[in-house]
Amino acid sequence: MSAALAASLFAVDPINFGGLRLRARVGSARELFLSDLAALLPEGTPLRRMPASISEDRLLGGLDLGATLATGQPVAMRGLLGESDGGVIIASMAERISAHTIAHLCTALDTGTLQMEREGMHAIIPARFGLVALDEGEEDEGLAPALLDRLAFHVREPDVEPLASKSEIHQARDLMARVAIDPAQIDELVSVAAAFGIASPRACLFALHAARACAALNGRKQVSAEDLQEAARLVLAPRATQLPAPPEEQQQEQEQEPPADQPEERTSDDQPDDDNEINIPEPGAESMVEAVRAALPADLLRKLVAGDPAKRGPQNGGSGLERRTLRRGRPAGSRAGELSGGARLALLDTLRAAAPKQILRKKLLPQGAAHPPLLLRKEDLRIKRLIERTRVATIFVVDASGSQALHRLGEAKGAVQLLLAECYVRRDEAALISFRGKEARLLLPPTRSLARVRRELAQLPGGGGTPLALGISMAANMAETIRRKGDTPVLVFFTDGQANVTASGVGDRAQAETDAIQAARQLRASGTRCLLIDTSPRPQPRARKLADDLGARYLPLPAAQAQKLSAAVKAELPR
């Protein structure tokens, strides 16, 4: 019955509730739920469907191509956000919405307006709406946390309960503004939110609003304890990240409990509180705590009891999204050109190019000849320039010298394997270079076949001197080749930085070091992204120095556990 009540409350005041996240598969239950909800909105309320792939033009508005060409005057076209003012937007596949669209939605939800600074137009457009986000994501994917935080209700499955009637909703809408709440009730609500580890103040405000709507729906002018419980159940329970300690065990718990749960899982505006004090709800709030506890979905409750983080933001998962934004071109101005090969017309720039020539062109026409309002010529055409995300090729440069073989080659191999998994997820290419004895060798040119990289790596022998300069130079050459193909190279060095073979393959420690530094600085000048993983048993100043010369991030292997390592490489990869 929670989905039905959430939908009813949302229908009372869609705009101030921000929205409703409905996590459900496509199906008749979902469609029925949506049409029931739509029926509760007042006549003439704008209701728009938004696909996850919506373009910025359509979302924010821009120039109307047809009307502009027909009239010869710039004609503005409203975007979806502006069209939906005062209404509801239904976003399908909300888990796939791009980061930019999320940011636009969040800004509009926060300010209720849209500032247009596009294609010669400047306007502040009202854009107050409620958002129904249909989330079909699997466990590890999900809606962006920033957007989720701005939606009051998080509903899991639509249920078959009927929603409130149209007249009830109508009555509640009128009553809503006059519903009073006791300040002590606000204190209770905030303390209950804190007890369940809910950091966002928005959640409390939504719960407050839900309590008011609940009272209004029941025809009351004062929020009751039951209204508060319902509000806590609907708004707070789905956001819980921890369970409140029972009052009698509080003292003990406080001592043992590690601070909330893993902070690295959180977004920065969702930090857990180390302050254990918040675990003690206000007196009089127990019934609300019980209501929230009872409303926790079974799986969420299990996770909380087990101490698992309840919510994982999609910032680490959501590989689909990442991949998609990676491949999609971003706008970067326009240039003169022809409309062929799928190029998109930059209308405004085309008009700008054509405008100064209009008077002359009209003069050149035969006297009295009929002509369209705008005389366009082929040379006026401007097409949109998109920056295509380039492919990334990760080059692994492995030091297989004697000093390495002694301690760390095995571990370095293991680390490469981990990073390969990352490349695989991103559909990136990988290449392998090793250096030992008197030479550096290209074991594998850039390939998508990561299995080959793994095989080469397994067969990689160790021993001999360390021709560091040769390894660096070869890596630099390969990076250059990759760059010329239009792709982006990323270098990952595995070495302890102890050079003892020179650039010409002669054993001479002092010269070898000088050569290595010189090669490193040359590589740095090319601006290639580098990561240096120090494979010595203890972090070495020499390796750190080499990383500086390379302009590389430095990461010592002893501390470089799997997760950190791949996080570090990920950070180096172009987004």
Partner 1 sequence: MPVVDLPLGATEDRITGALDIERALAGGEKKFEPGLLARAHGGFLYIDEVNLLEDHLVDLLLDVTASGENVVEREGFSLRHPARFVLVGSGNPEEGELRPQLLDRFGLCLEVKTPTDMADRIEVVKRRDLFERDRAAFVESWQKEEDKIRRRIKRAQTMIGDVNVPDDVLEKAVKLCMTLGSDGIRGEITLIRAARSAAALDGAKQVTAAHLRKVAPLALRHRLRRNVLDEFDTGVRVARALTEVLPA
Stretch of residues binding partner 1 (CB under 8 A), selected from 103-111, 232-240, 390-398, 477-485: 103-111
Q: Pick between residue 374 and residue 516 the one whose CB is nearest to partner 1.
A: 374
CB 167 within 8 A of CB 8: no
Span of 29-37, 54-62, 507-515, 517-525 interacting with partner 1 by CB under 8 A:
54-62
Tell me the sheet residues that pair with 345: 383
For residue 204, give the H/E element and its range.
Answer: helix 201-217
Please report, for the chain, how many H helices and E strands are present, in that order: 24, 17
How far is it, in rounded angstroms, from Cα 12 to Cα 177? 11
**Which of 270, 428, 515, 549 contacts partner 1 by CB under 8 A?**
270
One character per residue 486-515, x = contact with partner 1 (rule: CB under 8 A) = ------------------------------
Q: CB under 8 A: which stretch of 190-198, 244-252, 485-493, 504-512 binds partner 1?
A: 190-198
Q: What are phi and psi of 51, to 5 degrees?
A: -75, 150
Query: Least distance (Å) from partner 1 to the CB of residue 338?
Result: 20
Name residues contacting partner 1, limited to 345-404 (CB under 8 A). Answer: 348-349, 351-353, 355-356, 358-359, 374, 387
The pair of structure tokens assigned to 150 is: 């701005």
Q: What is the DSSP letter of 265?
A: G
Among 103, 160, 506, 510, binds partner 1 (CB under 8 A): 103
* Alpha carbons 420 and 482: distance in angstroms, whole number: 18
Residues of span 319-338 touching partner 1 by CB under 8 A: 330-333
Would you count residue 559 as binding partner 1 (CB under 8 A)? yes
Min dist CB 272 to partner 1, Å, is: 9
Neighbours of 252 (CB within 10 A): 10
Half-sphere exposure of 213 (CA within 13 A, CB side): 30
How many residues bind partner 1 (CB under 8 A)? The answer is 76
> What does the block give as tokens for 573?
């990869």
Q: Does 157 bind partner 1 (CB under 8 A)?
A: no
Least Cα distance to 570 among 239, 315, 307 occurs for: 315
Question: Among 59, 237, 381, 501, which residue sits at the site for partner 1 (rule: CB under 8 A)?
Answer: 59
**Residue 192 contacts residue 289 (beta carbons within 8 Å):** yes
Nearer to partner 1, 74 or 507 (CB): 74
Q: Which of 165, 271, 504, 526 binds partner 1 (CB under 8 A)?
A: 271
Q: How far apart are CA 78 and CA 62, in angstroms?
A: 7
199 counts as binding partner 1 under rule CB under 8 A = yes
Alpha carbons 85 and 293: distance in angstroms, whole number: 37
Contact with partner 1 (CB under 8 A) among 97, 189, 289, 409 = 189
Closer to partner 1 by Cβ: residue 166 or 362? 362
Give CA separation, 296 vs 59, 173, 233, 243, 300, in Å: 36, 29, 8, 10, 6
What's the closest the beta carbon of residue 78 comes to partner 1, in angstroms?
Answer: 14
Among residues 36, 141, 159, 273, the one that binds partner 1 under rule CB under 8 A: 273
Of 352 and 438, which CB lies nearer to partner 1 in the complex structure?
Answer: 352
Q: According to CB under 8 A, which one of 8, 530, 556, 573 is a site residue for partner 1? A: 556
CB of 422 vs partner 1, minimal distance in Å: 15
Residue 409 in contact with partner 1, rule: CB under 8 A: no
Q: Does 267 bind partner 1 (CB under 8 A)?
A: yes
CA separation (Å) from 398 to 89, 257, 448, 462, 516? 52, 43, 19, 10, 15
Q: What number of other Cβ atoms are within 10 A of residue 176's Cβ? A: 17
Measured in degrees and rounded to the nearest 5, phi and psi for residue 253 equal -55, -40
- Distance (Å, whole) CA 268 – CA 376: 51
Binder among 140, 249, 274, 299 for partner 1 (CB under 8 A): 274
Beta bridge partners of 501: 507
Instruction: Compute, in degrees rounded to 10, the torsion defined by CA atoms 264, 267, 270, 272.
Output: 0
Distances (CA, A) of 244 to 192, 234, 531: 9, 17, 43
SS (H, E, C) 427-461: CCEEEEEEEECCEEEEEEEEECCHHHHHHHHHCCC
Quick check: 488 and 426 in contact, CB under 8 A?
A: no
Distance CA 449, CA 452 (A): 6
Kindly indicate which of the ranges 101-109, 398-406, 486-494, 515-523 contains the residues binding partner 1, using the contact rule CB under 8 A: 101-109
Decide: 144 and 99 in contact? Cβ < 8 Å: yes
Site for partner 1 in 526-555 (CB under 8 A): 553-555
Q: Residue 104, interface with partner 1 (CB under 8 A)?
A: yes
Among positions 125-144, residues that touch partner 1 (CB under 8 A) are 144
Nearer to partner 1, 107 or 511 (CB): 107
Which residues between 3 and 42 bind partner 1 (CB under 8 A)?
A: 16
Q: In this chain, which of 65, 121, 343, 376 binds partner 1, going by CB under 8 A? A: 121
Rounded least distance, CB 184 to partner 1, Å: 10
Residue 491 CB, shortest distance to partner 1, in Å, is: 15
Nearer CB in complex with partner 1: 160/359: 359
- The one segment of 127-135, 189-197, 491-499, 505-513 that binds partner 1 by CB under 8 A: 189-197
Which of residues 201, 219, 307, 329 is near partner 1 by CB under 8 A?
Answer: 201
Q: Is 265 left (phi over 0), alpha (psi -120 to 50) or beta?
A: alpha
Among 11, 22, 50, 60, contact with partner 1 (rule: CB under 8 A):
60
Q: How many CA atoms lie within 13 A of 176 on its CB side?
A: 20
Of residues 31 and 269, the one with the C-beta less far from partner 1: 269
Nearer to partner 1, 52 or 567 (CB): 567
In the DSSP assignment, the letter for residue 180 is B
Site for partner 1 in 208-247 (CB under 8 A): 208
Residue 73 in the binding site for partner 1 (CB under 8 A): yes
C-beta of 389 vs 542, nearer to partner 1: 389
Closest approach of partner 1 to the CB of residue 53, in Å: 16
